[in-house]
Amino acid sequence: MTGTRMNAYMMMSHCASAYADASSSCASSASMMQSASNNSIMMILGAIVMASIIICGLISLAILGISLVLLVLVLLVCGRFDAPKARRFA
């Protein structure tokens, strides 16, 4: 082989390996981007789950509070209602 052909052959083989490295690098960066995308999706889903747990807890506390207020009101009404007077009307 002459020097020119040898240089052309060496350049072609280096370019081929450079393209191979570039494609594996692109595949690696694409998988890293996919992993980052999956991580962000998992973080968003985790935040949604935590928010729903908090909302359910607040709703249950509100229901408990309303039932407690109703119980107090019923007891106040029953306390004002005198039982012996009620027996006279019965």
- For 19-63, write each residue's pLDDT tens digit: 555 555 555 666 666 777 788 889 999 999 999 999 999 999 999
Average pLDDT of the chain to the nearest whole number: 75
- Alpha carbons 5 and 78: distance in angstroms, whole number: 109
Cα angle 86-87-88, degrees, rounded to a multiple of 5: 90
What pLDDT is recorded for position 29? 61
Compute CA 78 distance to the chain's CA centroid, rounded to the nearest angstrom: 48
- Alpha carbons 31 and 29: distance in angstroms, whole number: 5
Q: What is the 3-state secondary structure (H, E, C) of the chain?
A: CCHHHHHHHHHHHHHHHHHHHHHHHHHHHHHHHHHHHHHHHHHHHHHHHHHHHHHHHHHHHHHHHHHHHHHHHHHHHHHHCCHHHHHHHC
Domain ranges of the chain: 3-89
